[in-house]
Structure 1
Amino acid sequence: MITVVGSINMDLVVSTDRVPKRGETLIGKNFQTNPGGKGANQAVAAARLGNTTNMVGHVGTDEFGTSLLDNLKEENIETTYVKRKEGPSGIANITVADGDNSIIMIPGANFHWDGNEWEQYEDLIAQSDVLVLQLEIPLEVVEAFAEMANKVGTTTILNPAPAQPLPTSLTRNADFITPNETECKEIFGMGAGEAVSQFPNKLIVTEGEKGAVYHDGTSLVRIPGFPVKALDTTGAGDTFNGALAVAIAEGQDLNKAVSFANAAASFSVQHPGAQSGMPDRKAVLERLDDVK
């Protein structure tokens, strides 16, 4: 069983030919609302791959909150632990232009944690095989869950995004830390090859279609990716982390687990949006078989 603690957002996506200049109004090309948030995305990825998945987080009392809850339920994710907080849900305002995107995230309900609210989830964490965390909720909440998981012996995967300095205690309590190469440089101040050698069998750096790299305590290990024609890389990292959690929960060794996660992530970039391209288990296993 996997438990994901993290953000649940509604993505508001505007497509336009170019970013407007200051004070300028443009006619855009398209507008979509898509369920998102790194926590929810990772839960969807894990659930589609067949693992029992719990989501812990917050949505608002607005219509977005209702839609976000409904989406999680449709993905067969347990939502008992998703609380509705008075006020708006979290949103990400995404502008897509010139083949790139810019994002403004408003945390909303994601940041509404009351006192030591996390303490009520200790039994859930103890029953889970893997806990997945990210950094779109308050850092002190992430630290508290990681410490709790360490106390009860539950494996923790920390996806340190958006990138920010990591407290020593959080780095210590996380069993796996999974930045991309840009986040790795920002957090650890060094490239992937050097950074992973400092955290053997813990730090796994994703490198897009090149795959992922970690250090096994003796040497650098590079797990190749699955090159495909990428349409939209949004959600690729979340797919990787959800799939990694599934593989770790099933007892796969790190080499096979990272390869499984790479294969899952390769599907996500072939479709627009964060969740729409996340694969099921059959598709991932077939892609792995194709390279044997």
Structure 2
Amino acid sequence: MPDLILAGAAIVDVPVVPADASVFSRVSTPAEHIMLTTGGDAMNEAMVLSRLGKQVRLITRIGTDDAGRYIKQICTQAGIDTSHFLELDELATGVNVVLVDASGERRFFTNPHGSLRALEAQDITPQAMRGASVFCFASIFVFPKINPEQLAQLFARVRKQGLLVCADMTLPKRGERLPEMTPAFAQLDYLFANEAEAGAVTEESDPVRMADRLISAGARHAIIKLGANGCLLADQTGLRVRVPACPDTHCIDTTGAGDTFAAGFFAGLLDGRDFVDCARFANAAASVSVEAVGASTGVHSMEQVLQRYHAAYPR
């Protein structure tokens, strides 16, 4: 039975490293790395969690094409439960080309008509929740057919089934702000956002104020991801604490770093770590992730991440 249910996007990534605007001035440009990997928020989290020894069920939409078959093959090899995949003949499985510059920052070529944004609320069924203790909706605002009201209804239903309810987000696509998101956020045990995303939703510029407003909206725990500055944690008891990032991280590719952070946090949660220690472990997983090319290729094992964790946060 799964430890955790993930709902979100599963696509194929083609990272190119390094790449910058100069590629458009030449007919051919050499790159150190051109790879074929999996991508998408939920897929990234599922892959990392599987390598950390957790059992994961993934809910997503893919096409019945070569890219979709590749994703299912990778999931099968990783031991990820694909029994709630929706495979549609008329849907093209998403393929992203990821251009990563010398600093590790990335830019995407994305097919807006593919599976990346195709998930619908009806795809996430009560039957898919069976056996797990944690549910994560991997990215609020990714899927245009799932509106804030549907999110609130989904989260409330999953909560009634007895699961912890968690969600990450991307930047709002339709100008969504805190008032309309409050019914959904109020159903969440853990809400993740990076600084730009939290700032856009809360209309605040200071991370502490962002966290305050997310907690005021009803989220039981809020985690603001601050990249190289670690993360800020907040909860309804009044806790406000910054957890520093792992030092001496050599950043190559930031693709999937936030997803790996969330996966590391969930692994810590499932292992019984407290809130702050989950964040430390999440930072360690993200630190390992950015040192490799690809959204989920950096993390290989629990032992690898524990080594980084113990080095960064000695007792």
- The CA RMSD over aligned residues, in Å, is 2.4
Partner of 2:28 in structure 1?
A: 27
Judged with a 3 Å threshold, the aligned counterparts in structure 2 of structure 1 residues 110 and 142 are, in CA distance, closer, same or farther, namely: farther
Deviation at 1:243, TM superposition (A): 1.5
1:241 counterpart (256, 262, 267) = 262
Q: 2-side partners of 1:90 and 1:230: how far apart?
A: 26
Tell me if the contact between 2:10 and 2:116 (Cα under 8 Å) persists in the aligned partners: yes
> Match for 1:9: what amino acid?
I
1:176 is aligned to 2:180: no
1:93 is aligned to 2:100: no
Q: 2-side partners of 1:7 and 1:29: how far apart?
A: 30
2:76 counterpart (62, 70, 73) = 73
Partner of 1:18 in structure 2?
A: 20
SS in 2 for 1:139: coil
> Match for 2:80: what amino acid?
I
1:194 counterpart (183, 198, 209) = 209
SS in 2 for 1:41: helix
SS in 2 for 1:215: strand
> Match for 2:246: what amino acid?
F
Partner of 1:221 in structure 2?
A: 241
Judged with a 3 Å threshold, the aligned counterparts in structure 2 of structure 1 residues 21 and 139 are, in CA distance, closer, same or farther, namely: same
Judged with a 3 Å threshold, the aligned counterparts in structure 2 of structure 1 residues 43 and 95 are, in CA distance, closer, same or farther, namely: same
Judged with a 3 Å threshold, the aligned counterparts in structure 2 of structure 1 residues 237 and 114 are, in CA distance, closer, same or farther, namely: closer
2:49 counterpart (46, 57, 64) = 46
Deviations 1:185-206 (A, max 9, x none): 1221112111112344521101
Tell me if the contact between 1:17 and 1:29 (Cα under 8 Å) persists in the aligned partners: no
Judged with a 3 Å threshold, the aligned counterparts in structure 2 of structure 1 residues 185 and 232 are, in CA distance, closer, same or farther, namely: same
Judged with a 3 Å threshold, the aligned counterparts in structure 2 of structure 1 residues 93 and 288 are, in CA distance, closer, same or farther, namely: closer
Give the count of matched residue pairs: 289
> Match for 1:266: what amino acid?
S
Q: 2-side partners of 1:44 and 1:241: how far apart?
A: 12
Deviations 1:27-58 (A, max 9, x none): 23244322111110011111111111111111
- State percent identity of aligned pairs: 21
Q: 2-side partners of 1:16 and 1:282: how far apart?
A: 29
1:153 counterpart (162, 168, 171) = 162
Structure 2 length-normalised TM? 0.83
Q: 2-side partners of 1:289 and 1:148: how far apart?
A: 38
Judged with a 3 Å threshold, the aligned counterparts in structure 2 of structure 1 residues 270 and 123 are, in CA distance, closer, same or farther, namely: same
Q: 1-side partners of 2:121 and 2:156: how far apart?
A: 16
Deviation at 1:115, TM superposition (A): 8.0
Unaligned runs of 5+ in 1: none
Deviation at 1:220, TM superposition (A): 1.8
> Match for 2:279: what amino acid?
V
Unaligned runs of 5+ in 2: none
Partner of 2:222 in structure 1?
A: 203
Judged with a 3 Å threshold, the aligned counterparts in structure 2 of structure 1 residues 11 and 283 are, in CA distance, closer, same or farther, namely: same
Partner of 2:274 in structure 1?
A: 253
Deviation at 1:67, TM superposition (A): 0.6
> Match for 1:186: what amino acid?
A
Tell me if the contact between 2:8 and 2:119 (Cα under 8 Å) persists in the aligned partners: no
Deviations 1:165-208 (A, max 9, x none): 26222211121111111211122111211111234452110112
1:185 is aligned to 2:199: yes
Deviation at 1:144, TM superposition (A): 4.8
Tell me if the contact between 1:2 and 1:246 (Cα under 8 Å) persists in the aligned partners: no
Tell me if the contact between 2:4 and 2:132 (Cα under 8 Å) persists in the aligned partners: yes
2:299 counterpart (268, 271, 278) = 278
Tell me if the contact between 1:15 and 1:28 (Cα under 8 Å) persists in the aligned partners: no
